[in-house]
Amino acid sequence: MKKSFYILFALISASLLFAAISPTFAGGKKKKATPAPEYHPPVISSVTGNSITVTGEKTTRTFIVTQFTEINVNGQRGTIADLKPGMAVSVTIGVDPTRAGRIVATGAPEGGKQKKK
């Protein structure tokens, strides 16, 4: 009886000791939260007669603008002449990935002047 009592006591003591030194139970060091990367929307880098060039964080693409391209500038219907370098832009492509199906541009162009309504 004494032998089984000592074995049980040793097992319980070892378990408690392990629980006390284990980082899971003892509250180990917390890792610092890594900040989320900042999002920078693509911007118009240039506008020509029938195309716009859009620069993202890592890529630059040129899209052809046709008579069927829907253009929205600051919430209103616009034309390619309303698109200015420096504006934030979202381009939806059509069936042909080189042609813009829809362009939504926001913000003031470079120089900070916006077209009056």
Question: Residue 93 in contact with residue 100, Cβ under 8 Å?
Answer: yes
In order of 10, 12, 13, 24, the CA distances from 18 in angstroms are 12, 10, 9, 10
Residue 116: pLDDT band by 50, 70, 90 thresholds? very low
pLDDT tens-digit series, residues 19-53: 666 655 545 566 777 888 887 889 999 999 899 99
> Starting from the edge strand earliest in sequence, which strands make up the sheet with 100-106, in order?
60-64, 51-55, 43-47, 88-93, 100-106, 70-73, 76-77
Query: Domain residues of the chain, as ranges?
Result: 1-28, 43-106
Q: How many Å apart are CA 63 and CA 93, to the nearest integer? A: 8
pLDDT tens-digit series, residues 8-18: 677 777 676 66
Q: What is the pTM of this model?
A: 0.63
pLDDT tens-digit series, residues 69-78: 999 999 999 9
Query: What average pLDDT does this structure show over 97-113?
Result: 81
